[in-house]
Amino acid sequence: MADVESPMAGLLAVEDLTVAFGRGSSAAAALRDVSFALRRGETLALVGESGSGKSLTALSIMGLLPTEGQVSAGRVLLGGDDLLRKSRDDMIRTRGSRVSMVFQEPMTSLNPVLTIGRQLTEGLQFHRKVSRAAADARALDLLRLVGMTNPEARLKQYPHQLSGGMRQRVMIAMALACEPDLIIADEPTTALDVSIQAQIIDLLLDIKERLGTSILLITHDLGVVAEMADRIAVLYAGRVVEIADCLQLFDAPRHPYTEGLLAAVPRLDLLVADGADRIRLAELPGSVPSPGERLSGCPFAPRCSLAIERCSAEMPPMRTVAEGHTAACWVRAAA
Amino acid sequence: MSTPIPIVADTVDRGTGIASPRRQLLRRMLRSRSLVIGGSIVLFVVLVALLAPIIAPFDPDHIGTGRRLAVPGGKFLLGTDEFGRDILSRVIFGARYTLYIGLVAVGIGLVFGVAIGAAAAYAGGWFGGLLMRVMDLLYTFPDVLIALGLVAFLGPNLTNAMIAVGLSAIPYYARVTYAVVLSERQKPYVDAAQVVGASHIRVVVRHLMPNVLPPMIVVASLGFSAAVLSAAALSFLGLGAQPPMPEWGLMLSTGRNYITRAPWLVVGPGVAIFVTVMAFNLFGDGVRDLLDPRQRQRTL
Quick: pLDDT tens for A198-207: 888 999 999 8
Asked, for residue B153, whether it belongs to a domain, the answer is: yes
Asked, for residue B162, whether it belongs to a domain, the answer is: yes
**Nearest-CA distance from B50 to chain A in Å?**
34
CB proximity list for B248: less than 8 A, separation 6 or greater: B91, B94, B97, B98, B232, B235, B269, B270, B272, B273
Query: Across the interface, do A105 and B207 touch by the CB < 8 Å criterion?
Result: no
The model's confidence at residue B297, banded by pLDDT at 50, 70 and 90, is very low
What is the average per-residue pLDDT within A64-87?
Answer: 87
Is the pLDDT assigned to residue B93 strictly greater than 90?
A: yes
Q: Which residues of B touch A96 (CB under 8 A)?
A: 195-198
Q: Could you report the per-residue pLDDT of A7-39, keeping only the tens digit for each?
A: 445 889 999 999 988 777 777 888 889 999 999
Q: What is the pTM assigned to this prediction?
A: 0.78
Asked, for residue B7, whether it belongs to a domain, the answer is: no
Per-residue confidence (pLDDT) for residue A161, from 0 to 100: 87
Tell me how far CA of residue A151 lies from CA of A155, A183, B19, B140, B189, in angstroms.
6, 23, 22, 53, 22
Per-residue confidence (pLDDT) for residue B41, from 0 to 100: 95
CATH number at residue B280: 1.10.3720.10
H or E segment and range at residue A219 = strand A214-219
Identify the weakest region by mean pLDDT among B1-15, B118-132, B143-157, B218-232.
B1-15
Q: Is B5 on the interface with A (CB under 8 A)?
A: yes
Is the pLDDT assigned to residue B9 strictly greater than 60?
A: no
Query: Across the interface, do B9 and A203 touch by the CB < 8 Å criterion?
Result: no
Q: Is B191 on the interface with A (CB under 8 A)?
A: yes
Report which of residues B15 and A308 the model is more confident about.
A308
**Nearest-CA distance from B276 to chain A in Å?**
32
What mean pLDDT is reported for chain A? 85
Q: Is A177 on the interface with B (CB under 8 A)?
A: yes
- Angstrom distance (rounded) from CA A182 to CA A96: 9
Q: Could you report the per-residue pLDDT of B267-283, keeping only the tens digit for each?
A: 999 999 999 999 999 99
- Angstrom distance (rounded) from CA A58 to CA A175: 14
Q: Which residues of A touch B8 (CB under 8 A)?
A: 147, 199, 202
Q: Name the residue facing A103 among B10, B192, B213 (closest C-beta).
A: B192
Per-residue confidence (pLDDT) for residue B18, from 0 to 100: 52
The model's confidence at residue B118, banded by pLDDT at 50, 70 and 90, is very high
Q: Name the residue facing A109 among B7, B188, B197 (closest C-beta).
A: B188
Q: Judged by CB atoms within 8 Å, which residues 72-111 of B form the interface with A?
A: none
- Angstrom distance (rounded) from CA A4 to CA A319: 9
Per-residue confidence (pLDDT) for residue B126, from 0 to 100: 92
The model's confidence at residue A51, banded by pLDDT at 50, 70 and 90, is confident
The model's confidence at residue B2, banded by pLDDT at 50, 70 and 90, is very low
Per-residue confidence (pLDDT) for residue A294, from 0 to 100: 66
Q: Return phi, psi of residue A81, to 5°.
A: -85, 135
- Angstrom distance (rounded) from CA B199 to CA A80: 24
Query: Across the interface, do B197 and A94 touch by the CB < 8 Å criterion?
Result: yes
The model's confidence at residue B299, banded by pLDDT at 50, 70 and 90, is very low
**Neighbour tally for A91: CB within 10 Å:** 18
Per-residue confidence (pLDDT) for residue B182, from 0 to 100: 92
- Angstrom distance (rounded) from CA B157 to CA A283: 78
For chain A, domain boundaries:
108-179
Per-residue confidence (pLDDT) for residue B298, from 0 to 100: 46
What is the average per-residue pLDDT within A252-269?
Answer: 84
Per-residue confidence (pLDDT) for residue B8, from 0 to 100: 45
Asked, for residue B208, whether it belongs to a domain, the answer is: yes
Of A138, A197, A195, the residue nearest A168 (C-alpha): A197
Asked, for residue B66, whether it belongs to a domain, the answer is: no
- Angstrom distance (rounded) from CA B63 to CA A263: 97
Angle CA A315–A320–A321, to nearest 5: 105
CB proximity list for B231: less than 8 A, separation 6 or greater: B98, B101, B102, B105, B161, B162, B165, B240, B249
Per-residue confidence (pLDDT) for residue B55, from 0 to 100: 92
- Angstrom distance (rounded) from CA A222 to CA A71: 29
Q: Which of A105, A111, A129 is the mutation pick for testing B, counting most B CBs within 10 A? A: A111
ipTM of the complex: 0.78
**Neighbour tally for A178: CB within 10 Å:** 19
Tell me how far CA of residue A293 lies from CA of A30, A290, A310, A317, B148, in angstroms.
10, 6, 18, 20, 59
Q: How many domains does chain B have?
A: 1
Q: Could you report the per-residue pLDDT of B94-105, keeping only the tens digit for each?
A: 999 999 999 999
Asked, for residue B3, whether it belongs to a domain, the answer is: no
Edge-to-edge strand list for the sheet holding A231-236: A99-102, A182-186, A214-219, A43-47, A231-236, A239-245, A325-327, A319-322
Full residue range of the structural domain in which residue B43 is found: 37-52+96-299
- Angstrom distance (rounded) from CA A124 to CA B209: 21
Q: Which residues of A touch B5 (CB under 8 A)?
A: 202, 205-206
Of B205, B124, B116, B122, the residue nearest B167 (C-alpha): B116
Report which of residues B20 and A232 the model is more confident about.
A232
Q: Is B198 on the interface with A (CB under 8 A)?
A: yes
What mean pLDDT is reported for chain B? 86
Whether the link from the prior residue into B244 is cis, omega within 30° of 0, is yes
- Is A33 strand, coil or helix? strand
Asked, for residue B90, whether it belongs to a domain, the answer is: no
Query: Across the interface, do A103 and B15 touch by the CB < 8 Å criterion?
Result: no
Is the pLDDT assigned to residue A335 strictly greater than 70?
A: no
Query: Across the interface, do B15 and A153 touch by the CB < 8 Å criterion?
Result: yes
Buried b / exposed e over A115-152, threshold 16 CB at 10 Å, is bbbbbbbbbbebbbeeeeeebbebbbebbebbbbeebe
